[in-house]
Chain A
């Protein structure tokens, strides 16, 4: 699967309150509505700047803080195709796999806002089309790849009636 889009760049330690604020997420489970507020406290115009397929690119510890699964879901509903960061916080990492949002762990220092990227997930490489560079991607652990390939944890449970990593 190849993903293509342009970059929206953020710093280190983007927490899940920034991704979707508590003042919105307690009101509704309507993810289309929550998506309008994604990253609002860091960039009030973020939602309107996204072209479907774009990427969020950040430094280390992306998704730290609260366990809210509204965070990856609102990113999905904002038409972001993947989040790319140097490292991810643990709960967010699991939540992305469970909900089907692709995560790309790689060195993001050479990626700037507005760059056009193409990600080849099967080859494990990120092409920065704007800069003409290739960046290797850290592969997902086998268990997570299995859940992602099944279409998320709900689909995994529907298929097997429980956990099955054999």
Chain B
């Protein structure tokens, strides 16, 4: 009987021949926390009476969620992170470096076959490059920093086979929103997702990150893909580390298998206030929009900026609408500047803000006003998520956001795709 990717990585890292539902203690390749979770992790680390992290090179803290600091209270927490990072000599990505889930792979910290935890629920992002990565809380993060280990229940796996070719104007964001709408917000809870098939193979690594990033929105522990030539090329460009990719066996056992054909998929929109409240864009087209957001760990990468800029080039953001663009990292922003994308955004009337989480989590950079509608490339549209519980958040692809801010209402981007 064969094994899934999750079973193989957890077997490799625990030294036990494990199967779904076994409990293992496994070695971690990398641990990460951000500015909203580091404080409690540091507190727990100190309470555990630990002196040193297990390996400073394999620990990172990223100041991205509320960065640069908008308030004195936030500044105090950021200072605590800087002091700890200096004392422990761990990787620190301070303000302006970007979103943790862009930085961890971009800076070469993780490679195929790795086991990674992050004190941020979207740590599942690195599954796109064949990493078993999962979100944990601050105390688990502290345990990982102290011991280099964590206990895991080996998850059962759900296999998503995605056939067909995404039509022009339809992107990996539309695909993952469609899947979440289909399986619902807790359809994959306690389980790993594996994404395979022609439509996945055809995606760039940037586009694959978007899919794995949102695995948590169906409750999954991780969102895994096999490594192919695109993965190898991307990883070698970003990391010096040696790696051994992990494939699922043909006779691996799955909790269930779902098969889709995406050749006729429309752009998808998640409506307020849950991510699984998904509709084809034709159902919501015309809803007025006061604010658009392009960025976040879901869709702030260079390919996303290129797609949005291609639509916004030579056009203006509607006079009743605002657009905020937050590139996912400093490198992404520099690349976007070289390609003239930032100029296109600025000329369209957008506010381009510091690389990082942007306004996604309601701390700064664009809290909507009462009753306003926002269309965002982020991964969550919970009531109050962006800092105002009376506003409404719609989620879509960078193309859907770009098209919508031009008209000031939700707009099918295929109108702009030649």
Q: Which residues of A contact B37 (CB under 8 A)?
A: 67-69
Report the minimum CB–CB distance from B279 to chain A (whole Å).
Answer: 18
Taken together as a complex, chains A and B put the C-alpha atoms of A41 and B383 apart, in Å, by 7
Number of B interface residues at 8 Å Cβ cutoff, please give it: 56
Q: Are A27 and B385 in contact (CB under 8 A)?
A: no
Nearest chain-A residue to B382 (Cβ)?
A17
Residue B137, interface by CB 8 Å: yes
Q: Are A154 and B219 in contact (CB under 8 A)?
A: no
Q: A21-B362, A89-B219 are in contact. Are A154 and B185 (CB under 8 A)?
A: no
- Which residues of B from 187 to 240 have beta carbons under 8 Å from A? 189-190, 216, 219, 221
CB-contact partner of A153 in B139, B185, B221, under 8 A:
B139
Q: A69-B138, A162-B147, A163-B147 are in contact. Are A26 and B65 (CB under 8 A)?
A: yes
Q: Which residues of A contact B248 (CB under 8 A)?
A: none
Nearest chain-A residue to B186 (Cβ)?
A61
Report the minimum CB–CB distance from A24 to chain B (whole Å).
Answer: 9
The total of interchain contacts (Cβ-Cβ below 8 angstroms) comes to 151
Q: Are B139 and A154 in contact (CB under 8 A)?
A: yes
Q: Are B149 and A163 in contact (CB under 8 A)?
A: yes
- Which residues of A from 1 to 58 have beta carbons under 8 Å from B? 13, 15, 17-18, 21-23, 25-29, 41-42
Residue B77, interface by CB 8 Å: yes
Nearest chain-A residue to B150 (Cβ)?
A163
Taken together as a complex, chains A and B put the C-alpha atoms of A165 and B138 apart, in Å, by 21
Q: Are A29 and B146 in contact (CB under 8 A)?
A: no
CB-contact partner of B40 in A29, A64, A91, under 8 A:
A29
Q: Which residues of A contact B65 (CB under 8 A)?
A: 22, 26
Nearest chain-A residue to B43 (Cβ)?
A29
Interface residues on A, range: 35 or more
Q: Are A165 and B23 in contact (CB under 8 A)?
A: yes
Taken together as a complex, chains A and B put the C-alpha atoms of A60 and B190 apart, in Å, by 13
Report the minimum CB–CB distance from A61 to chain B (whole Å).
Answer: 4
Q: Which residues of B contact A87 (CB under 8 A)?
A: 186, 189
Name B's A-contacting residues (CB within 8 A).
23, 25, 35-37, 39-40, 43-44, 47-50, 65-66, 71, 73-74, 77, 119-121, 123, 135-140, 142-143, 146-147, 149-151, 153, 185-186, 189-190, 216, 219, 221, 274, 361-363, 367, 380, 382-385, 387, 389
Q: Can you offer 23 A-B residue contacts whose CB atoms are under 8 A?
A: A13-B186, A17-B362, A23-B362, A26-B73, A65-B382, A66-B120, A67-B119, A89-B186, A90-B190, A91-B121, A94-B137, A99-B139, A153-B139, A153-B140, A153-B142, A154-B44, A154-B139, A154-B142, A157-B48, A157-B147, A158-B48, A163-B147, A165-B23
